[in-house]
Structure 1
């Protein structure tokens, strides 16, 4: 089963690389504002997870500079569980006004990003 998942993961990454969406172009001042807001957002993800790829494609399509965190690393996985409550990816960590919000479903994350930055 591990081999099948590994092969499928590499196929997903290959096609994502080949068919990567085009980045959104914004005026420099507007992009600087967006970059400032996205400094407080992180995406906990696995590189070959299809749902994570879906979210990363939206991030690229919107031209967002959101830090991605590999949740397979023990330290990041512990942070995800202890602070977010679940060991599930993709997970968007949003820090606003001194509060931290953890968003888990890929469709919810995509809707949030599209509403916030579109």
Structure 2
């Protein structure tokens, strides 16, 4: 069963990535000062993800829509990222957003809908 899904991902992955690039939303336009503030806030975030995971694609599309420059950490191909996610986040599940706070604490946010909701709350343009 595991090999079936691996094969399915290999076959469908390029099509999923093509669809993502063709349907990527246009990002919001902010003033230079506002975008600089958003970029600074994004420095405290990292998205642990797989390139062809449909839930990760959902989060990346929202990042594009909100014009966010969040670091992407591929846990499928980079063992160090997968180990960090497991050791510090508690689960190897993706997508997972690492949120580093000013006081040094870290929050690990799982579930694509929760991550999208967080991004919309923090960075939505009114």
Q: TM-score range by the shorter chain?
A: over 0.9
Matched, 1:77 2:82: yes
The structural deviation recorded for 1:105 is 0.4
Measure, in 2, the Cα distance between the counterparts of 1:104 and 1:19.
Answer: 24
Give the aligned partner of residue 98 of structure 1.
104
Task: State the superposition RMSD in angstroms.
Answer: 0.8
* 4+ runs deviating over 4 angstroms: none
Measure, in 2, the Cα distance between the counterparts of 1:4 and 1:93.
Answer: 29
Measure, in 1, the Cα distance between the counterparts of 2:94 and 2:31.
Answer: 32
Measure, in 2, the Cα distance between the counterparts of 1:59 and 1:66.
Answer: 8
The normalised TM-score by structure 1 is 0.97
Alignment of 1:1-118 (within 5 A): 1=4, 2-72=6-76, 73-96=78-101, 97-118=103-124
Which sections of structure 1, spanning at least 5 residues, go unmatched? none
Residues matched between the structures, number: 118
Which sections of structure 2, spanning at least 5 residues, go unmatched? none
Measure, in 1, the Cα distance between the counterparts of 2:30 and 2:57.
Answer: 23
